[in-house]
Every structure is written in C-alpha cells, then in structure tokens.
Structure 1
Amino acid sequence: MSKDYPVPAGYLERETEVKKSRFIARVAPVASRDEVHQWLAQAHRDHPDARQICWAYQIGRPGSAAEAAMNDDGEPSGTAGKPILNVIQHKDMGDVLVMVIRYFGGIKLGAGGLVRAYAGAAESVLSAVDRVVHQPMTSVKVTMSFADEQPLRHWCEVNGARVDSVDYGTSVTADVLVPDEKVNALKAFCEAGQLHYDLER
C-alpha cells in the first residue's frame, strides 16, 4: 500500500515583485484534474487583466506522481510552468497546484529572469504554506440494517475512517472513506456483522 505524504494544508497566496512586474503565487491542494480547472477558473475570474496565469501541479505521491502537468500561458517555452513544477518537486509535496499570476510591469525580464521570477514566486508560497499528511483512502460502500449504523460509525471514529454520505431506504447505505491500511479491518468488521460491502476502486 502507498504510504502517507505531505500535501498543502489549504489555500495560500503570496506576492512578489520583479522589475515592476507583479507575480501573485497561489497554492492549493488538489486531488483531481477537475479541481485544478476549478482553481484556474477562479484565478481567471479574480485577475481578468493579468498578462499571464502560469501553473503546474502534481497529483499523487511525490517522486511517483500519478499525474503532473504545467503551462507557460504564452511565456517563452520552459520559462514558467517548468520552473514552478521543479520547485513543487523539490519541495517533496503531493496533491498540489501552484498558479503564478503575472502583471507585466513594462520591463522585459529575459528567459533567465523569467525562470528565476516564476521559481521564486513558487518558492515563496510553497515555503509559507502549512503541510498536512495525506493518508491514502479507499471508498467502501456498506449496506446494513438501521441497527448497524451506530456500530459502524463507532468503528470509523476509532479507526480514522469517516462516513462520507448515508442513504436511507429499506436498508442503510453508507459511503465510507477508509485509510488504505484499515480496509482489511473494515472487511472483517462487515463480515463479522454480516454487512454487505463493495470496494469502489
């Protein structure tokens, strides 16, 4: 099973200035490409007049990320997205998006200057953001009788799992997020109580 790894604790913004150009760096925790697009759309809404909104992200474990991407947004190739991604990888952080919003100040920075400015902006926000440890979780759907709901909730509290949603029909169906290393324990709990479970891999 995959081990825990650090992720950003939340959203943070930091601003730096280089030769009158403003670089507004934002960091946000992301778990999917959809979340990346939502954060980018928000940045475009917040800064419709920005010259560039360059970004990079990696999802998954640092060093073996499931997905990573970057975008120079019109800056010379390799001068914005790549430096941002390099800083992310150097910080050994997963599930992270960094956007750098640039307002041009009238003085051209040149390729080397851009690389330093975008890397510096990414560094400033990633150094400041708090980290939390991500625990890989598995979603398990559990179907049970009404009498079994409280014992399941108690099991979740004790084992660091959480009940994400509950659907009440003729029986109770709960979506449970379980730390990967506790999946077998949940299976055993369900089997002992004759609860039906379905792993959503």
Structure 2
Amino acid sequence: MVKIILKGASAEITEKKSRFIASVQSVRSQEEADDFILRTKKQYWDARHNCSAMVLGERGEFSRSSDDGEPSGTAGRPMLSVLTGEGLTDVCAVVTRYFGGVLLGTGGLVRAYSSAVQAALAACSIGVRTDGFRLRIRTDYNGDGKIRYLLAQRQLPVTDTVYTDAVEVETLVPDEVLPILKTEIMDRTNARCSFVKEETVRYAITRDGPVLL
C-alpha cells in the first residue's frame, strides 16, 4: 500500500524556545523536490537550519535527507523515517528551525524534527494510491440493488449512475479485485448484465471518497 500527498500543508511546533516549521508537499521528481527545498529556504532565509527529506518512486525506492548543519542523524534521517513509516512516496518535507538559545541535545532534536513532520502530515490530505479500472455495468432495474450491495460489501464507490430503459452503474475497482467482482456480479444478477465500459485508471482512496489522479 502506497500513500501520496493530495494536498500539502505546514505546521509549527516549539521546543525549548526553538521554532520548528514543517512544510510538506507532493513532488513527482527529484527536481521538483529540490525546487521545493530551495523555495522554502528562500522563504525562511533568516533561519539557521532548513532540513529536508524526500521519498520518490512507484514504491518509494528513492530517498534522500539532509541535516543542513544540524548534528549528523538528528534531523533529516528522523524526518525521513516519519515519511517512510507512513508509507508515503512522491513527497518532500522541509523543517525550518529558528534557534531559541537552548541546546536540545541529540534526543531532543530527533524528537522535535520528527514531531514537526508528524504535525504537518496530520494537516495534509493523504490518499492510498491505487491502480485499477473505471467499470461501467449495465443491468435491469432488479439488478441495480444487487450490484450496489456487492459494491458496498467490497467498499467500492458508485461514481455515476444513469437511468434509462436500463441502469448503468459506474465504479472504480482495484486491479486485483476486478476479475472476482465481475464473476460475483454475473452470478448475483443471473447474467442479466453487461460490462459496457472498462478502462484503466489511477486513483487515490481518501476518507471522502476516490480522487482520480
């Protein structure tokens, strides 16, 4: 299961008078990530540190982090651990620190940078990236309820419905679910249905429903 950022966000925490401002954004390439880091550094040009972490690739196979002057392993790596721990890819996080005059120590820095990223992620819109099909099913009015029941059982959305002399129901189906779902629909409707449209799509599953990518 791979998660992606649909809408980025920022959050700020304070630890012993030091301000930690975390900014998280969706990125599609290392160039986009580097550009986001540069823009954040320009925005907070007077800050002592702008530490960063990124995860890229279909399965998050590429990652990179920077401590930007903080003691080695106290900033970028903990930030990266938060991103990978959430199962995210195509994401970049930057945490800006304004030093408050009190040293935090290694453990304190690790906790602060991790907590800042967690706070920003809590404010983001996040979805589970899914490869699947947009499936349109044509049936009679008796089959309509049966198909909807099957979709609800599998927690699949009804994205469109057209009522004419028959009923057409559209849904989004993950790759691995499609074959068995089609068999179930044929069985439940006694084959009084047809699959009139089937196309591959990539979408994200969110709390508020699917979002096409």
| Residue 41 (structure 1) shift | 1.3
Q: Per-residue CA shift, 1:6-43, capped at 9, x if unaligned?
A: 20112210000000100000100011001001101110
Alignment of 1:19 with 2:24, yes or no, is no
TM-score (norm 1): 0.63
- Indicate which of 43, 47, 64 corresponds to 1:46: 43
| Residue 70 (structure 1) shift | 0.3
Q: What is aligned with 2:191?
A: none
Give the aligned CA root-mean-square deviation in angstroms: 2.2
* Paired AA for residue 99 in structure 2: F
1 CA distance for matches of 2:46 and 2:131? 39
Greater per-residue strand proportion:
2
| Residue 5 (structure 1) shift | 2.7
| Residue 136 (structure 1) shift | 6.3
Q: What is aligned with 1:79?
A: 74
* Paired AA for residue 15 in structure 2: V
Q: Per-residue CA shift, 1:126-149, capped at 9, x if unaligned?
A: 122111343569xxxxxxxxxxxx
5+ residue gaps in structure 2?
A: 133-169, 173-199, 203-213
1 CA distance for matches of 2:131 and 2:25? 18
TM-score (norm 2): 0.60
Alignment of 1:108 with 2:103, yes or no, is yes
| Residue 159 (structure 1) shift | 11
1 CA distance for matches of 2:131 and 2:23? 24
1 CA distance for matches of 2:102 and 2:131? 46
- Indicate which of 126, 131, 138 corresponds to 1:131: 126
| Residue 123 (structure 1) shift | 1.0
Q: What is aligned with 1:7?
A: 4
Q: What is aligned with 2:25?
A: 28
2 CA distance for matches of 1:112 and 1:6? 28
Higher Cα radius of gyration = 2
Question: For the Cα contact (< 8 Å) 1:91–1:126, is it kept in 2?
Answer: no
2 CA distance for matches of 1:20 and 1:136? 45
Alignment of 1:98 with 2:87, yes or no, is no
* Paired AA for residue 10 in structure 1: K
5+ residue gaps in structure 1?
A: 138-157, 161-177, 181-201
Q: Per-residue CA shift, 1:108-129, capped at 9, x if unaligned?
A: 1011110010011111111221
| Residue 89 (structure 1) shift | 1.1
1 CA distance for matches of 2:109 and 2:3? 28
**Helix, strand or coil: the match of 1:48?**
coil
2 CA distance for matches of 1:19 and 1:82? 21
2 CA distance for matches of 1:79 and 1:8? 24
Q: Per-residue CA shift, 1:45-98, capped at 9, x if unaligned?
A: 11100110001110124xx42310000001000000010011111111111111
Matches within 5 A, 1:112-123: 112-123=107-118
